[in-house]
Copies of this chain bind each other. A is one copy, B any other.
Amino acid sequence: MKKTAEINATPVCQVRMQAISDTMSLLSGKWKFHILGTLIEGNTLGFMDLLREINGIGTKMLSKELQDLEVNNLVNRRVMNTKPITVEYSITEYGKTLSPLIDEMAKWGIDYRRKVYLKDAK
């Protein structure tokens, strides 16, 4: 008997799959969660502040990722009229809706470390 046709297309699953893909594509890459997490904690920060806060990121990546996040209305970019020009980045109201997701991710990662540590200690 052939069995190629029966793809599970239950609407609920399809919607969930699509939703997960959407979320991941907006937050893809190595740095977006770090940037968002830092901005959620730290209110407004300048470009150089972020560069110092986020360990390991370079200017190219920071610049590119901030642009992506701005386009998707997750981050505000505000050029200040200061002597050496400064730019203030902050999380948008919409960006704040990612807090539960980021918190879950951090929480799970912390538990994971604890678990690995306990296993190794045995």
Tell me the number of copies of this protein: 2
Residues 90-122 (chain A) with a chain B CB within 8 angstroms:
94, 97-98, 100-102, 104-113, 115
Whether A101 contacts B102 by the Cβ 8 Å rule is no
19 of the cross-chain contacts (CB-CB < 8 Å) are A7-B55, A8-B52, A8-B53, A13-B38, A13-B41, A16-B110, A17-B55, A19-B106, A19-B112, A19-B113, A22-B112, A22-B113, A23-B105, A23-B106, A24-B105, A97-B108, A97-B111, A98-B108, A101-B108
Q: A7-B53, A15-B110, A19-B107 are in contact. List 19 more A-B contacts (CB 8 A).
A: A8-B53, A13-B41, A13-B53, A17-B34, A17-B37, A18-B109, A19-B106, A20-B109, A22-B112, A22-B113, A23-B112, A24-B30, A24-B33, A97-B111, A98-B108, A100-B104, A101-B101, A101-B104, A101-B108
